[in-house]
Structure 1
């Protein structure tokens, strides 16, 4: 049932991408605003309480719903799994930016590529070169593939029903919505949301990095992961970018133009400078990694069936 739900959800999402802002982010933002209004006094304790009420509560509720539906009929439980995965997972949630940037660079439309990258990352890239645009797009795609697909899949497989997918998606949302806020009136309310997601993403990020390594240049991917990931400001992002860069044989990181200034960043990866060709190779790497994970699930399912 787990493998079938994943495959069907991925197929549906490819055929009809979910309007994520309307059906996922907007409702979650309303919940977030309500929790902030009721509980935020700037203290860490209330932030932890609010995180638990929303995320642990929703995770348990989805697990209970799955168990009840399973007792009624397995097909109902399968449909529930697919529906939740459709809401929590998907390549297409951000990949349209990557595809449009790739096409713009192929057509020599650098200004359009810069604009699209700025919309995607929420930053200004008016002075970025074509290589910088390709670099940043590849980095964003590697992180996005993990957060939108591999991380969700990991927890979906690990916990009963769709509860793992719910746990990971909600934890990610509140880490971004609360954990990144630094305004004084917000205080340390979002500190636990940030730390909680780091805990949940510790193992899935490393599983994704291993998948990137196997699907690409394994030796270079492991070398970059071991020697370069720690240089990145965000440890988990560093692991994903370093393993992906090594697997692709491309140099990422390095200084970039942002809001008219040069932002200094460490060099990650080995090989050639990023361009549109490496963007195409990134798509192949992500898909090979996903197929690898699905094949592993198939083998585990067969082994379980044979062992009965």
Structure 2
């Protein structure tokens, strides 16, 4: 059932976008200020996320099967969808394709806002922004769903929202929760890209601290997919990284299918 849920979810996400009024970030903006920007320390924040995960999964467990599945699918779809990120990506790609370097740079700066590392600059930083957006809005959500259920994916979406609101506690917790999804995503890059170049990079940074997440993901991705960032106004590097991310998503689905066949997942 998990694989069917993932396939239907990705098909829905591919065919149409959930209206902004139904997206998770929109619902979170309607919360009282005390929940939109909680002021307690990070351990309590972590406990709150765990409680939300358990509560959501508990409610889904006691609901009738069809209703539980439909509600779970809706919650996951709400967590995946973010209109602003998609609009920025499309605007940037259109600007590159028509040769409007100034518009492409302005849009890429908006995409780069969640990045905290200063290691990559110029076009490489744009590529890292695309990969990081893919991690936070796709791979990490699906990862937590597969590992711990719908509640965990929803809790991660809440943490992502707090992180984007520059909540200090969320910025402390996020790297730790993203540590494992980043390693899994980077491993996928090695398998679907240039394995002999990417695998040494993956092993080299495997046990590094969560603060190294962005640099680690970028290092493996740039080794897995050879791109030329020397041409200022070219969409080829962007398209190459998007293709790498798509192949990685297919690899993730195949891995989930294998784990289900082996009995590790249901």
Is TM > 0.5 for Structure 1 vs Structure 2? Answer: yes
The corresponding residue for 1:48 is 42
User: In the TM superposition, what are the counterparts of 1:50-69 in structure 2 within 5 Å?
Assistant: 51-52=45-46, 54-69=48-63
Q: How far is the alpha carbon of 1:237 from its aligned partner?
A: 0.9
Aligned counterparts of 1:119 and 1:178: Cα–Cα separation in 2:
15
The corresponding residue for 2:214 is 237
Q: How far is the alpha carbon of 1:207 from its aligned partner?
A: 0.3
Q: How far is the alpha carbon of 1:17 from its aligned partner?
A: 1.5
Q: Which sections of structure 1, spanning at least 5 residues, go unmatched?
A: 41-45, 124-130, 180-189, 253-271
2:244 aligned to 275, 285, 288, which one? 285
Aligned counterparts of 1:228 and 1:199: Cα–Cα separation in 2:
15
Q: How far is the alpha carbon of 1:177 from its aligned partner?
A: 2.4
1:120 aligned to 104, 107, 111, which one? 111
1:294 aligned to 237, 253, 256, which one? 253
Does residue 14 in structure 1 map to residue 2 in structure 2?
no
Does residue 212 in structure 1 map to residue 189 in structure 2?
yes
Aligned counterparts of 1:121 and 1:21: Cα–Cα separation in 2:
25
CA distance 1:231–1:167, change in 2 (3 Å) = closer
Conservation of the 8 A alpha-carbon contact between 1:13 and 1:92: no
Does residue 171 in structure 1 map to residue 171 in structure 2?
no
CA distance 1:29–1:248, change in 2 (3 Å) = same
CA distance 1:90–1:207, change in 2 (3 Å) = farther
Aligned counterparts of 1:245 and 1:31: Cα–Cα separation in 2:
40
Q: Could you state the TM-score of these two structures normalised by the residue count of structure 2? A: 0.82
Which deviates more, 193-202 or 19-28?
19-28
Q: How far is the alpha carbon of 1:233 from its aligned partner?
A: 10
Aligned counterparts of 1:222 and 1:32: Cα–Cα separation in 2:
46
2:198 aligned to 221, 227, 240, which one? 221
Structure with max Cα Rg:
1
Aligned counterparts of 2:190 and 2:242: Cα–Cα separation in 1:
14
How many correspondences in the alignment? 258
Q: Could you state the TM-score of these two structures normalised by the residue count of structure 1? A: 0.72
2:179 aligned to 184, 195, 202, which one? 202
Q: How far is the alpha carbon of 1:12 from its aligned partner?
A: 1.2
User: In the TM superposition, what are the counterparts of 1:43-192 in structure 2 within 5 Å?
Assistant: 46-48=40-42, 51-52=45-46, 54-69=48-63, 72=64, 74-90=65-81, 94-122=85-113, 132=122, 134-160=123-149, 162-179=150-167, 190-191=168-169
Q: How far is the alpha carbon of 1:154 from its aligned partner?
A: 1.1
CA distance 1:93–1:148, change in 2 (3 Å) = farther
Aligned counterparts of 1:232 and 1:65: Cα–Cα separation in 2:
35
Q: Which sections of structure 2, spanning at least 5 residues, go unmatched?
A: 115-120
Higher relative contact order (CA 8 A, sep 6+): 2
Taking only aligned residues, the RMSD between alpha carbons, in angstroms, comes to 3.3
Aligned counterparts of 1:251 and 1:230: Cα–Cα separation in 2:
29
CA distance 1:95–1:223, change in 2 (3 Å) = farther
Q: How far is the alpha carbon of 1:95 from its aligned partner?
A: 3.5
